Structure formats: structure tokens, C-alpha cells
């Protein structure tokens, strides 16, 4: 089973067929018909709608985070363990950083860590997320990398996407993500999806909270009306009882 967050849906076909085309990076930048050589291209570019949540693929400390050149060039770099490849530095690029991420560079990010499935940002205005390992650009991409700058990061990304969705994620697969079972002649079977954007979740929570508040006010108002009615009834009974006693006294006279 593989966990495929919404921003990595372009990897779904690759997981079932490593020879699939449609993605580009350093490994194929000079192939005719592709986008041609792109100076500074360092990983794989994966298209996704702007605003799609970007989730960390693995636990690890942040060694760089911030923006380069423009607001569409947000970067978060983490030091992680890649199954079968050991310690590596993974960067997420072209994202809008989540407010929980403090900008830092050059490996000076004390105390900042991420966990698998944690939201680190959203897909930026370029409509894609570039991901790669051990980029030698320094600053927000980190320094003193433990491994080489590999031209094709897809096999390592696939290794990180293996296994179940992170615990605690929405619908057990993370907002905007999909759990799939892949392989075999049956192809890919989608187990569950959830593509609600953050604003829809916030609106839903607001409506739910407002409904609870109005319900509480109504119940309180209803209780006060009932209490008022009981009080009026008791007063009426008391007045009636007083009148009966007076009549009785007059009769006795």
C-alpha cells in the first residue's frame, strides 16, 4: 500500500510503472520533446492545483526553510531516513510555507522538526512542487549533506510513500490525499480519498460551532420560559389559596 497525498498524485502512475512518462527533472531534461535543459533543475516537478496542502513524507529535523527570489519559491528542507538509502536531505520547493514553519537557513534551525503527515505548506502559484535530495544550492536547501545530489529522486520518493497513511490524518489518509493498493494485474485500487481544501474545513467547523452556540442559547431561553411559567403558576396558586381562606373566615363570622 502507498500513501499518496494530493500534491503527489502525479507519482501514482510511477508507483505502478516506473517507466511512465509525464514528469521531468535532471534525468530527462535533454530528451527531445521534453522541456529541454533547465538551469538549476534539481529534482522532479510534480503538478498539483495551487493551494493543495503539502505534507511531510518523513520525520526529521528542518535544516532550512524560507523563500528564494519570489513568493512562489518557498522551500523546506528536512533531514530524514530514506528506506534502503539511509540519511538524506529532502527538499520541498515551490510551496507557500505553513505559518508553523519558522524561516531559517544554513542548517541553523534549532528545535524545528516535522513528522510524517504534518502540513508544511501548500502548492504555490507555480502549480507544482519540486522535490529532490541533497541539493547543493546551500542556504535554505541546507549544507553538509549526508548523501549525493541524485538526478532522479523518484525511487527514493516512492520508498517514502510506501506504507499506510500517517496516524491521525483526516479519514486515515490525510486531507487531499489518497490511500492506494498498487501492483499486480489488477492495477491500482483506490481505497479512500478526501480532497477538501483548508477553507472548506474551516467553514464547516465554524458552522458547526455556530450551530452548537445557537442550540445552547435556545435551550437556555426555553429553560427560562419554563421557569417563568412555573413561577407564575405558583403565584396564581398562592393568590387563589389566599382568597379561599378569606371566604372561609367571612363564613365563620
Q: Tell me: pLDDT of 176 over 70.
A: no
Are 203 and 180 part of one and the same domain? no
Are 161 and 49 part of one and the same domain? yes
**Nearest-CA neighbor of 119 among 173, 174, 72, 47?**
174
Whole-number Å distance between alpha carbons of 137 and 139 = 7
According to the model, what pLDDT value does residue 66 have?
96
According to the model, what pLDDT value does residue 201 have?
74
**Nearest-CA neighbor of 65 among 100, 117, 38?**
100
- Cα 207 to the chain's mean position, in Å? 21
Write out pLDDT tens, residues 199-234: 667 788 888 888 989 888 988 888 888 877 777 777
Are 113 and 183 part of one and the same domain? yes
**CB-count exposure of residue 169 (10 Å: 0-12, 13-18, 19+):** buried
pTM: predicted TM-score of the whole model, two decimal places:
0.65
Residue 14 per-residue DSSP state: H
Write out pLDDT tens, residues 75-115: 999 999 999 999 999 999 999 999 999 999 877 788 899 99
Local structure of 171: helix, strand or coil: helix
Whole-number Å distance between alpha carbons of 217 and 47 = 47
Are 165 and 245 part of one and the same domain? no
Q: Which domain holds residue 212?
A: 197-253
Are 153 and 224 part of one and the same domain? no
Q: With cut-offs at 50, 70 and 90, classify the pLDDT of residue 250.
A: low
CATH code, 40 = 2.70.70.10
Are 188 and 241 part of one and the same domain? no
Number of domains in the chain: 2
According to the model, what pLDDT value does residue 219 have?
87
Amino acid at each position: 500500500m502507498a500513501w499518496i497525498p494530493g500534491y503527489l498524485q502525479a507519482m501514482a502512475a510511477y508507483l505502478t510503472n516506473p517507466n511512465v512518462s509525464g514528469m521531468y527533472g535532471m534525468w530527462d531534461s535533454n530528451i527531445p520533446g521534453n522541456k529541454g535543459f533547465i538551469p538549476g533543475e534539481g529534482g522532479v516537478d510534480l503538478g498539483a492545483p495551487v493551494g493543495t496542502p503539502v505534507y511531510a513524507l518523513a520525520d526529521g529535523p528542518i535544516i532550512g526553510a524560507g523563500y528564494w527570489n519570489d513568493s512562489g519559491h518557498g522551500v523546506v528542507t528536512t533531514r530524514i531516513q530514506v528506506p534502503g538509502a539511509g540519511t538524506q536531505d529532502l527538499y520541498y520547493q515551490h510551496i507557500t510555507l505553513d505559518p508553523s514553519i519558522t524561516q531559517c537557513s544554513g542548517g541553523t534551525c534549532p528545535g524545528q522538526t516535522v513528522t510524517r503527515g504534518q502540513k508544511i505548506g501548500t502548492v504555490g502559484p507555480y502549480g507544482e512542487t519540486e522535490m529532490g535530495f541533497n541539493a547543493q544550492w546551500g542556504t535554505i536547501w541546507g549544507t553538509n549533506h549526508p548523501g549525493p545530489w541524485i538526478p532522479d529522486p523518484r525511487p527514493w520518493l516512492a520508498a517514502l510513500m510506501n506504507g499506510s497513511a500517517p496516524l491521525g490524518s483526516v479519514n486515515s489518509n490525510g486531507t487531499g490525499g489518497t490511500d492506494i493498493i498498487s501492483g499486480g494485474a489488477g492495477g491500482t485500487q483506490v481505497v479512500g480519498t478526501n480532497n477538501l481544501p483548508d477553507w472548506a474545513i474551516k467553514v464547516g467547523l465554524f458552522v458547526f460551532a455556530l450551530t452548537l452556540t445557537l442550540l445552547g442559547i435556545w435551550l437556555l431561553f426555553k429553560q427560562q420560559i419554563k421557569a417563568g411559567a412555573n413561577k407564575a403558576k405558583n403565584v396564581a396558586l398562592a393568590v387563589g389559596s389566599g382568597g379561599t381562606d378569606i371566604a372561609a373566615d367571612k363564613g365563620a363570622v
